[in-house]
Amino acid sequence: MLIKNRRGWEIPESEATPESAFLNRRALMAGGAGLIGASVIGGAQAASPADPTADLYPAKRNDRYKLDRALTDEKFSGDYNNYYEFGTSKSVTGAAAKLKTRPWTVKIDGLVDKPVEIAIDDLIRKMPLEERLYRHRCVEAWSMAVPWTGFPLASLVAMASPKADARYIVMQTFKDPGQAPGQKQFWYPWPYTEGLTVEEAGNDLAFMVTGVYGKPLANQFGAPLRLAVPWKYGFKSVKAIDRITFTNERPKTFWEALQSSEYGFWANVNPEVSHPRWSQAEERVLGTGEMRPTLLFNGYGEYVADLYKNLKGERLWA
Ligand code: MTE
């Protein structure tokens, strides 16, 4: 299939190439091909100064979530992103900056008592914002540690009041090929879709992200609203969400729809279960290039392992 040639995280470069080589490659691409504006090279861009919720940042840090490593410098995490709506390269900062994130509404529908379409700023102001330091482990075997700001997904679930038969929560990214050139690539199953069980969504760790590094989320990170489920591979953490649907059917997610033999619904981090084409035993830390052993559930087993203990026969690790 055509997509076989197009997928960024199949490129072994992301496992082995030192950061300096990435940076050089980006510089070449920006200068040579002229695809990416010069602003990309300088590192992360701040969210628009006109962000109507800017006064809420920085939010108070919740110290329950501790890191075993240094935070990743924003100049690395903010300019090394996966955001296929804006291309398959890691340098999407310039392209994603053009996405209009206001006005923006989030539709909450399906098996809920209180369906609603809510303006993002009303949602953010309604929710209990806090900062959490989380690890993030991409299925491509790189990782970062980031100070997200946001609110527990459980608070949104409580607001929606799911019906008793709701078993899954499905989150979708906006769809607008006029703004997101990647969505003109018809072989991808747009919109980007991800899902959790309602039990997973109620776990303390499941976090809706509205900001990072003490400011509103910059576009390349998934403004104005993304998910962070740090015990799962990063592709579960869907960006730029505009619809959240409660359902009793397990959704077909974006990567699962493309290649179900490699990417599944659960996608929990496990160093012992290799991706079909590379090992997951180690990860490369963004910025430093340090290689670290991958941790089961990305180190969050104490919070989440119980969610899976009765799920025998499910492919929990890919
Ligand atoms: N969400 C959307 N809508 N589109 C994407 O391409 N990529 C995923 C996830 N969410 C992606 C997405 C992948 S593969 C990863 S690893 C993380 O976003 C990357 O998040 P980051 O760019 O903030 O590091």
Q: What is the pLDDT of residues 298-317, one digit of tens each?
A: 999 999 999 999 998 999 99
Structural domains in the chain? 26-307 (3.90.420.10)
The strand ranges marked E within the chain are 105-110, 116-119, 130-137, 142-152, 168-173, 193-197, 207-212, 215-216, 226-228, 241-247, 282-285, 291-293
Hey, what are 148's tokens?
């997200």
Q: What is the CA radius of gyration of the chain?
A: 18
Look-up: residue for tokens 């969400």? Answer: 241
- Residue 81 Cα to ligand 1 middle (Å): 7
**Least confident piece of the model among 33-47, 110-124, 264-278:** 33-47
Instruction: Write down the pLDDT at residue 68.
Output: 94
Q: Which residue in this structure is represented by tokens 């299939």?
A: 1
Instruction: Give the pLDDT confidence score for residue 2 in this predicted structure.
Output: 28
Could you give the 3-state DSSP secondary structure of residue 130?
A: strand
| 297 vs 232: CA distance, rounded Å | 7
Ligand 1 centroid to 112 CA: how many Å?
27
pLDDT above 90 for 16? no
Would you say 212 and 146 are in contact if contact means Cβ atoms under 8 Å apart? yes
CA distances, 84 to each of 94, 156, 185, 238, 239 (Å): 13, 26, 10, 11, 10
Q: Which residue, 87, 104, 111, is CA-closest to 177?
A: 87
In this structure, are residues 210 and 150 in contact, taking their beta carbons and an 8 Å threshold?
Answer: yes
CA 127/CA 224 separation, integer angstroms: 14
User: Using CA atoms, how far apart are residues 219 and 274, in angstroms rounded to an integer?
Assistant: 31
Q: Pick the atom of ligand 1 nearest to 84's CA.
A: 6
Q: 85 CB less than 6 Å from ligand 1? A: yes
The b/e string for 196-218 (b: 16+ C-beta within 10 A; e otherwise) is bbbebbbbebbbbbbbbbebbbb
Residue 12 has pLDDT above 70, yes or no: no
Report the separation in Å between the CA atom of 267 and the middle of ligand 1, taken as the mean of its atom positions: 14
Global pTM reads 0.87
Q: Is the pLDDT of residue 102 over 50?
A: yes
Q: Indicate the pLDDT class of residue 39, thresholds 50, 70 and 90.
A: very low
Confidence band, pLDDT 50/70/90 cuts, at residue 50: confident
What is the C-alpha separation between 99 and 88, in angstroms, rounded? 16
- CA 174–ligand 1 middle distance (angstroms): 14
- Alpha carbon distances (Å) from 54 to 12, 146, 215, 218, 241: 38, 19, 7, 12, 19
Q: Ligand 1, atom 24: nearest CA belongs to which residue? A: 81
pLDDT at 14 over 90: no
User: Whose CA is closest to 80, among 55, 106, 105, 44?
Assistant: 44
Beta strand 142-152 with 207-212: parallel, antiparallel or unpaired? antiparallel
Q: Rounded CA gap, 39 and 36, in Å?
A: 8
Protein residue whose Cα sits closest to atom 17 of ligand 1: 234
Q: Does the beta carbon of 194 lie inside 6 Å of ligand 1?
A: no
Residue type, 39: S
**Residue 210 in tokens:** 């509205």
Which residue, among 61, 229, 64, has the nearest Cα to 135 in the 3D structure?
229
Question: Which residue's alpha carbon is nearest to atom 8 within ligand 1?
Answer: 235
Query: Could you give the CA distance from residue 308 to residue 126 in angstroms, rounded to a whole number?
Result: 31
| Cis preceding-peptide flag for 147 (omega within 30 of 0) | no
Q: Quickly list H helices, the chain.
A: 13-16, 19-28, 74-77, 93-96, 120-126, 153-160, 198-201, 254-258, 301-304
Ligand 1, atom 19, lies closest to the CA of: 82
